[in-house]
Amino acid sequence: MRYNQLGKSDLRVSEIGLGCMSIKYLGQGKKIIQKALDYGVNFFDTADLYDKGVNEEIVGKVLKEKRQDVIIATKVGNQWRDDGSGWEWNPTKSYIKSAVHQSLRRLQTDYIDLYQLHGGTIDDPMDETIQAFEELKTEGLIRAYGISSIRHNVIDAYLQKSNFTTNMMQYSLLDRRPEEWALDVLAKAEKSVVVRGALAKGLLASKAARAYLDHSEEEVQKVKDLLKEKSTAEIHTGHLALKYVLRHPAVGTIALGTSSAEQLEESLKDFAQSKTISLDDIAAQIKASKYTAHRLR
């Protein structure tokens, strides 16, 4: 496993991390997380939103004895309603500074390595949001903080106003919107991207083709066929899709989602040893969508 520094922080993370959202119960979590550890994964991403905090509890229980060896990332900003019927967006300083203590309790730790804002718009009270994160750093409750946005105006505002370390973005061969602007801008600013959706919900691995974003089922199948032509005994289509995302210098890690240890092993087995194969010719044949809303004026 290769490891990358996140931004200017002292966090070094495995290039493939584990996105823990699909973990629903402790036994499943133990199997998946142990398999990840076996392959050198040290980055584990969760959120207080997932299963109303239960996901954080599972991650915390499983990683408790490995705490010094792992990087734990979680997210804040989505506040569950008291009746549990849904959640409201709440990026206020008071909420963030209260919610962090609940995440710390559930994760059974006294610090969070990477605390991420779980969304956001240009109309948020950014100054107080940033102040909350900076105070949490000063207090030693978090080591670094990040945002989660594909919105150009939001990313630009945080670049101007804050010292964030990471931005979580959806990015894959089937969703190349970050290539238009965000990846190069973030790399220049020495920020790291945490990628989600690198396998496009499994479509770039073993799942059958179906429509995805503005790609038709036929277009998705064409991409799968092109990847298959490039695959070898040592590097399968999922490997190729992951390596395509990792080739950009802005990308620090992929938060790879999975629902089973077997599925995770399929993605990680032989991955570090497999060579990177250029997919520029494939990318040139894929419709490169642009993010049309929330652009810089």
DSSP 276: P
Q: For residue range 50-59, what is the model confidence (pLDDT) as tens digits?
A: 999 999 999 9
**What's the pLDDT at 126?**
97
pLDDT, average across residues 132-160: 97
Q: How many helices (H) and strands (E) does the chain have?
A: 11, 12
Q: For residue range 173-219, what is the model confidence (pLDDT) as tens digits?
A: 999 999 999 999 999 999 999 999 999 999 999 899 999 999 999 99
| Catalytic annotation, pick one of 3, 25, 39, 50 | 50
Q: Return the beta strands (E) in the chain as ranges.
A: 3-5, 12-14, 16-19, 43-45, 71-76, 78-80, 87-89, 112-117, 142-148, 166-170, 192-196, 251-257
CATH of the structural domain 3-7+10-200+247-258, one choice from 3.40.50.1110, 3.20.20.100, 3.40.50.1820, 2.60.40.10: 3.20.20.100
Whose tokens are 């399968």? That residue is 236
Q: At what angle do helices 237-246 and 261-268 cross, to 10 degrees?
A: 70
Catalytic residue flag (residue 95): no
Q: For residue range 70-128, what is the model confidence (pLDDT) as tens digits?
A: 999 999 999 988 888 898 999 999 999 999 999 999 999 999 999 999 999 999 999 99
Kindly report the average pLDDT of the chain as a whole number: 95
* 274 Rama class: left (phi>0) / alpha (psi -120 to 50) / beta: beta
Task: For residue 62, give the nearest of 20, 94, 98, 93 by alpha carbon.
Answer: 20
Of the pLDDT bands very low, low, confident and very high (cuts 50, 70, 90), residue 291 is confident
Domains of the chain, by residue range, sit at: 3-7+10-200+247-258
